[in-house]
Amino acid sequence: MNLHMNLDSDSYDIIIDHGCLAKADEHLALDRKVLVVTDAGVPARYAKNVACCCKEAYIVTIPQGEGSKSFETLQTLLATMLKNGFSRTDCVVAVGGGVVGDLSGFAAATFMRGIDFYNIPTTLLSMVDSSIGGKTAINFSGVKNCIGAFHQPKKVLVDPSVLHTLPDRQIANGLAEAIKMAATFDADLFTWIEQNEIKSSLDTIIARSLAIKKNVVEQDEKESGLRRVLNFGHTIGHGIESCAMGNLYHGECVALGMLPMCAPEAKKRILNVLKKTGLPTELCFDASEVFEAITHDKKRDGEHLRIVYVPEIGSYEIKKVTIKEFEHTVKEAFTK
């Protein structure tokens, strides 16, 4: 199945097909110098497979984890391209999850003022969400994604057959983002997730989540309005992520972050789906700690936050709340 992201001159195809990674050269223009970026947690054969399809490939394997979204690792990628005589007509291919995609997309965005970038996501989280839409970034000074660029890929290859090597916890991690999309935009998909066995339904979940995201990005590529809804669960989720210091996955934090941000009936349904998919439903920190982590750079009084709220499954509201109101919501939701 193919989807097409319509973004004028930045339009591209999203290929969803079992086995497409092994046939990368049928889909991507690899008859040139190619920087293939992967991480140490991804089976090495995936990147080697892609490299074998290229005219001249250089594989860089970065350490696994968020710590690789750094200036240092970015420099490694840029230096590899410079040292090996890459020009503006060469390209970067990401073979991995969100960290690999964000970092290598940013390297492609900045090298020689921007070169072609292809994304081959290998985690469920990157397949359903981060591999499309063109957000690329590194972290800086403890702030997530604060240095980055919008740089759309030229093509995205989603090969669900690679998911068989992923542990269950990683599958659940990705499902959190799919649940987020269904909860805000697609009540039918949400019901479908409630009613079906998940592991045998991943192809459907991937295709339908990507279709939702594609539709959102086509309407608001640079996140000036509608795309903000994709941040449902992320404001609190990011706070939880910083308290967890690497012990919880991004999707697990987003799962928890969705719970305080919906009406009671929607919350009940989200809770049940989180339990079904093996995602956490209870916070293992103090709610005040999470609140502090979210607002540590904000003045306490008078300042507002924009939050995404789900009044009913399949719908959303963007609400402007005061810091005080937000503090009350977080503490009420998580205080036992």
CB of 94 to ligand GLY, least distance (A): 15
Residue from 27, 151, 154, 250 carrying the catalytic annotation: 250
Nearer to ligand GLY (CB atom), residue 230 or residue 255: 230
> Is the distance from CB of 134 to CB of 156 less than 8 angstroms?
no
Q: How far apart are CA 6 and CA 2, in angstroms?
A: 13
Assess whether 238 carries a catalytic annotation: yes
What phi-psi label fits residue 36: left (phi over 0), alpha (psi between -120 and 50 degrees) or beta?
Answer: beta
Distances in Å between the Cα of 136 and the Cα atoms of 10, 51, 131, 295 are 15, 22, 10, 24
Given 102, 129, 159, 327, the residue binding ligand GLY (CB under 6 A) = 129
Asked if 130 interacts with ligand GLY (CB under 6 A), we say yes
Asked if 257 interacts with ligand GLY (CB under 6 A), we say no
Nearer to ligand GLY (CB atom), residue 122 or residue 152: 152
Nearer to ligand GLY (CB atom), residue 130 or residue 173: 130
Provide the H-helix boundaries in 111-225: 124-125, 168-185, 187-195, 202-219
Beta bridge partners of 158: 16
Nearer to ligand GLY (CB atom), residue 133 or residue 160: 133
Assess whether 169 carries a catalytic annotation: no
Asked if 230 interacts with ligand GLY (CB under 6 A), we say yes
C-beta neighbour count of 319 within 10 angstroms:
15
Asked if 135 interacts with ligand GLY (CB under 6 A), we say yes
Assess whether 332 carries a catalytic annotation: no
CB of 316 to ligand GLY, least distance (A): 14
> Is the distance from CB of 5 to CB of 11 less than 8 angstroms?
yes
CB of 164 to ligand GLY, least distance (A): 25
Which residue's CB atom is positioned nearest to ligand GLY?
A: 230
The long-range contacts involving 83-86, CB below 8 angstroms and separated by at least 24 positions, are 84/33, 84/58, 85/33, 86/33, 86/35, 86/111, 86/112, 86/115
CB of 120 to ligand GLY, least distance (A): 17
Q: Which residues contact 217 (CB under 8 A, 6 or more apart)?
A: 5, 7, 132, 133, 134, 227
Assess whether 296 carries a catalytic annotation: no
**Binding window for ligand GLY (CB under 6 A); candidates: 66-74, 125-133, 138-146, 202-210:** 125-133
Which residue, 92, 110, 131, is CA-closest to 5?
Answer: 131
**Binding window for ligand GLY (CB under 6 A); candidates: 130-138, 269-277, 282-290, 291-299:** 130-138
Q: What is the CA radius of gyration of the chain?
A: 20
Q: How far apart are CA 125 and CA 170, in angstroms?
A: 8
Nearer to ligand GLY (CB atom), residue 81 or residue 137: 137
Residue from 56, 66, 218, 223 carrying the catalytic annotation: 223
Nearer to ligand GLY (CB atom), residue 129 or residue 159: 129
Assess whether 250 carries a catalytic annotation: yes
Q: Cite the active site residues.
A: 113, 135, 177, 213, 223, 227, 231, 234, 238, 250
Residues that bind ligand GLY (CB under 6 A): 129-130, 133, 135, 227, 230
